[in-house]
Amino acid sequence: MPAVSLCCRVCATEHPLVATGTCARCFGPLDPAYDWDALRARVSRASIEAGPSSIWRYADLLPVAAPPDARLAPGMTPLVPAPRLAAELGIGELWLKLDTANPTHSFKDRVVAVAARKAQELGFDTLSCSSTGNLAGAVAARAAAEGLEAAVFVPSDLEPEKLAAAAVYGPRIYAVDGTYDHCSRLSVELSFELPWGFVNVNLRSYYAEGSKTLAYEIAEQLGWETPDVVAIPIASGALFYKVGQGFGELVALGLVEGATPALFGGQAAGCDPVATANRDGQRVVPDRPATIARSLAIGNPADGDFAIATAHATGGAIYPVAEDEIGTNMADLAATTGIFGETATGVTLGALKAAVAAGRVGREARVVLLVTGDGLKTPGPVSHTYDPIMIEADADAFMEQVLVA
């Protein structure tokens, strides 16, 4: 196992590799620390390419040992060109990273696979989380595959499609009277009382590392080159921060041609504390969520300030996206690419459009847009596209009355 300790992102205090997500000294977030000299000596493009077709090909760069029997392994999702949408946007190349191809149709399968592996190493028999939907499904499916118990906490008014997508795996679902932030606070409190592996609380240090594999895969799928731009949705900010970290690690290890790409993030206007702080040059102030993009509805984002720092360091930015544009963007993506992404993807495309309009993305740029979840989980915002033409079951009438008209 390449990770040697947990290290505080703020004060650099080291901690053992146990179930804890915050620094005992300053309460900052903890990240796994690695022996980079040893990794440089043994990790190469060839060693990675010889690995399994999943996130576990990058096991040397993750904080847990690869499972001997990788059940329901996520990762190596398609990276597909989107030339029609690229032409519409006025950019050189656009690629879509389709994490809808993961086992439960979202990028959350990546982070949960890493967290669950650590839970097994530490002897937990129950996986738990607070969730806006996708994470609940990923935790429930992973627990089912590994023979573990699952308990998930979700807002009581979550989309029924997401609840059904989690319930089918047999977890205990606790519907909390409140927002995601109430669920999160409750799971933090319970993590001190229950012997459970809360993937985004006491296992968060390991969980978040799974997001780095998106950067690794994008670079490998582009022939070990980095793109110029990556567009990413922002909820807690962890995905945005970790994708930036992943590209930085590839550069530091000498595995890629090119520099870390500019990262552009999007938040729905009804819950945009990170975008607001980025605009105002201030630290993130909690917001009260009121958005149709429920998977991004985190009013108190734990990694928001780190996401802003990542945007600045990479030459990117973070944009709010109007609520009434989210469904339009979802439909635009589908109509030009054949890909149906969830509300978060509508926000991501909106952020990319804003970056292009602001002159931040060049006309020759190679851009990757993350499709982090499946639109079938959030069909409401595109219901306006369903407008069928009613006809009789009569071919002559169809030819004469419909086609001629």
**What pLDDT shows up at residue 57?**
98
User: What ranges in 236-366 are assigned the alpha helix state H?
Assistant: 238-252, 273-280, 304-314, 323-337, 343-357
**What pLDDT shows up at residue 80?**
98
Please name the residues in contact with 194: beta carbons below 8 A apart, sequence gap of 6 or more.
126, 128
The three-class DSSP label of residue 309 is helix
Cβ 128 vs Cβ 140: under 8 Å: no
**What pLDDT shows up at residue 160?**
87
φ and ψ at residue 385, rounded to 5 degrees: -80, -15
**What pLDDT shows up at residue 402?**
84
φ and ψ at residue 163, rounded to 5 degrees: -65, -45
Tens of each residue's pLDDT in the chain, 405 residues = 689 999 999 999 999 999 999 999 999 999 999 999 999 999 999 999 999 999 999 999 999 999 999 999 999 999 999 999 999 999 999 999 999 999 999 999 999 999 999 999 999 999 999 998 899 999 999 999 999 999 999 999 888 898 899 999 999 999 999 999 999 999 999 999 999 999 999 999 999 999 999 999 999 999 999 999 999 999 999 999 999 999 999 999 999 988 999 999 999 999 999 999 999 999 999 999 999 999 999 999 999 999 999 999 999 999 999 999 999 999 999 999 999 999 999 999 999 999 999 999 999 999 999 999 999 999 999 999 999 989 899 999 898 888 875
**What pLDDT shows up at residue 137?**
96
Q: How far apart are CA 145 and CA 139, in angstroms?
A: 10
Considering only CA atoms, which of 197, 190, 207, 184 is closest in space to residue 6? 207
Cβ 372 vs Cβ 266: under 8 Å: no
Tell me which H or E stretch contains 36.
helix 36-42
Neighbouring C-alpha atoms within 13 Å toward the C-beta of 18: 7
State the DSSP code for 208.
G
Q: May I ask the CATH class of domain 79-104+209-385?
A: alpha beta
Tell me which H or E stretch contains 268.
strand 262-268
Q: Is 227 exposed, middle or buried (0-12, 13-18, 19+ CB in 10 A)?
A: buried
The residue extents of the domains of the chain are 79-104+209-385
Considering only CA atoms, which of 200, 243, 221 is closest in space to residue 372? 243
- Count how many residues are written for the chain: 405
**What pLDDT shows up at residue 401?**
83
Q: How far apart are CA 361 and CA 263, in angstroms?
A: 11
